[in-house]
């Protein structure tokens, strides 16, 4: 897999370099009349993300033993809205298993994180769940937790293995697979457009990986297509991100479709695009309830939706296996990514925007059986 990724990356880098040279030429037209995107190949690649085939739990084997009631699990809360959603999604499985679930706010600066992680070490829980917090901020505590035999599992963290932690269930290769799905969806939904832009959030470690996957897939589907890259600072999310998109599209009228690393960029964007007289659609990831509402109203084209409940049940499942020292193996990245995600548009938008996308309707019963609960 690694060699294949390198080969695809080389193709993508070559294609992007050629695109950049072309874009820098003042004489070059906006579009290449010879460029064609392979819509059929995009649709074929996207089948797992379009509802094709059955979906199963990523690790579908029973635990070696039931979970002891009162097992103490600490959740590291980084203070973001998504982190609050993840905490809420842990309540049902914690109740099912009788866990003692504790929330520790870690803060956002190095000193706060260090203080919080020292307190976690002193708590001596049975296990720890981390969503998005970079291990580089608590490397000393990782050594202490390891010495005490306290496992820590992660979600949306790209460098766990480098710090001696278990591989996160949605690590780097998974994020590249998501990026590939975003690019293929852009080709499919634009009916083979040739001029694209990717809105990257550089502060999010997963965002450049999505971009890398999108580059490689677009180079495969349309070697002569253009994919511009525009950075949007994380501080602008929830404030001026939509305005930045409008300004970019005004300055680059050749753009036919956009891709966003996070769908929060699109919240409120349709109205601003309409006021500016811009008719350019796009797709993002990490969908929030307002995105579902915009899609349902026909204002937003589509999203690559993530089942956030299944995500948290899966992270907890990994922790339980780590606590029991039970071997397990993740599926290949494309299978893992497509199990948790699906292309959502007005034809299949969830009825409840708060609940959002549900990948496996009976997932709770399946986990309960694997956890020997009830």
Q: What's the Cα-to-Cα distance from 109 to each of 159, 270, 288, rounded to whole Å? A: 19, 34, 25
Tokens of 92: 């049902």
Average predicted confidence (pLDDT) for the chain: 89
The per-residue pLDDT for 238 is 84
Tell me the average pLDDT across 115-128: 98
Tell me the average pLDDT across 47-51: 93
Residue 85 included in any domain: no
Give the burial string for 94-129 (b: 16+ CB within 10 Å, else e).
eebbebebeeeebbeeeeebbebbeebbeeebbbbb
The per-residue pLDDT for 34 is 54
Nearest Cα neighbor of 156 from 138, 170, 176, 174 is 170
The per-residue pLDDT for 54 is 85
- pLDDT (tens digit per residue) in 175-198: 999 999 999 999 999 999 999 999
Tell me the average pLDDT across 199-204: 91
The per-residue pLDDT for 82 is 76
Band (81; pLDDT cuts 50, 70, 90):
confident
Q: What is the CATH number of the domain that holds 287?
A: 3.40.50.2300
Specify the higher pLDDT residue, 7 or 298.
298
Tell me the average pLDDT across 41-70: 94
Query: Which residues, other chains included, contact 200 with Cβ-Cβ below 8 Å and sequence gap of 6+?
Result: 207, 208, 211, 229, 230, 231, 232, 261
The per-residue pLDDT for 25 is 32
- Number of compact structural domains in the chain: 1
Residue 294 included in any domain: yes
The widest CA-to-CA distance across the chain, in whole angstroms, is 71
The per-residue pLDDT for 165 is 97
Specify the higher pLDDT residue, 228 or 107.
228
Tell me the average pLDDT across 363-371: 97
The per-residue pLDDT for 11 is 38
Band (169; pLDDT cuts 50, 70, 90):
confident
Tell me the average pLDDT across 311-315: 97
Residue 321 included in any domain: no
Residue 231 included in any domain: yes
Domain of 178, in residue numbers: 8-21+28-53+173-306
The per-residue pLDDT for 35 is 60
Tokens of 327: 């071997």
Has residue 309 got a pLDDT over 90? yes
Query: Which residues, other chains included, contact 235 with Cβ-Cβ below 8 Å and sequence gap of 6+?
Result: none
Distance CA 300, CA 323 (A): 43
What is the percent of the chain with per-residue pLDDT over 90, rounded to a whole number?
79
Question: How many CB atoms neighbour CB 186 within 10 A?
Answer: 30
The per-residue pLDDT for 205 is 85
Residue 199 included in any domain: yes
Tell me the average pLDDT across 208-221: 97
Has residue 21 got a pLDDT over 70? no
The per-residue pLDDT for 19 is 38
Planar angle of CA 231, 299, 32, nearest 5 degrees: 55
Residue 230 included in any domain: yes
Residue 212 included in any domain: yes
């Amino acid at each position: 897999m690694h060699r294949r990724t390198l080969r695809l990356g080389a193709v993508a880098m070559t294609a992007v370099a050629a695109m950049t040279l072309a874009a820098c030429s003042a004489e070059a037209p906006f579009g290449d009349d010879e460029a064609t995107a392979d819509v059929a190949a995009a649709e074929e690649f996207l089948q797992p993300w379009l509802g094709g085939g059955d979906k199963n739990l990523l690790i579908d084997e029973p635990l070696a033993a039931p979970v002891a009631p009162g097992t103490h699990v600490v959740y590291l809360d980084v203070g973001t809205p998504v982190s609050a959603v993840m905490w809420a999604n842990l309540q049902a499985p914690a109740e099912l298993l009788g866990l003692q679930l504790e929330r520790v706010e870690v803060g956002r600066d190095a000193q706060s994180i260090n203080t919080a992680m020292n307190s976690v070490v002193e708590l001596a829980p049975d296990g720890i769940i981390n969503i998005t917090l970079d291990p580089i901020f608590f490397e000393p505590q990782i050594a202490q937790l390891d010495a005490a035999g306290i496992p820590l599992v992660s979600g949306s963290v790209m460098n766990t293995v480098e710090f001696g932690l278990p591989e996160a269930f949605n690590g780097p290769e998974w994020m590249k697979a998501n990026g590939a799905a975003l690019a293929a969806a852009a080709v499919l939904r634009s009916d083979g457009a040739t001029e694209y832009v990717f809105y990257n959030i550089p502060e999010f470690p997963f965002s450049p990986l999505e971009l890398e996957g999108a580059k490689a897939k677009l180079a495969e589907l349309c070697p002569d297509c253009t994919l511009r890259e525009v950075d949007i600072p994380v501080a602008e999310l929830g404030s001026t991100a939509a305005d930045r998109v409008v300004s970019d599209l005004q300055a680059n009228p050749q753009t036919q479709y956009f891709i966003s690393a996070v769908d929060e960029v699109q919240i409120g964007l349709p109205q601003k695009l309409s006021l500016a007289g811009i008719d350019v659609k796009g797709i993002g990831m990490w969908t929030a309830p307002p995105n579902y509402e915009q899609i349902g109203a026909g204002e937003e084209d589509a999203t690559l939706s993530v089942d956030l409940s299944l995500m948290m049940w899966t992270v907890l499942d990994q922790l339980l296996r780590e606590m029991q020292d039970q071997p397990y193996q993740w599926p290949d990245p494309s299978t893992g990514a497509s199990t948790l995600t699906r292309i959502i548009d007005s034809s299949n938008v969830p009825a409840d925007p708060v609940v959002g996308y549900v990948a496996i309707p009976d997932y709770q019963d399946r986990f309960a059986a694997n956890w020997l609960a009830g």
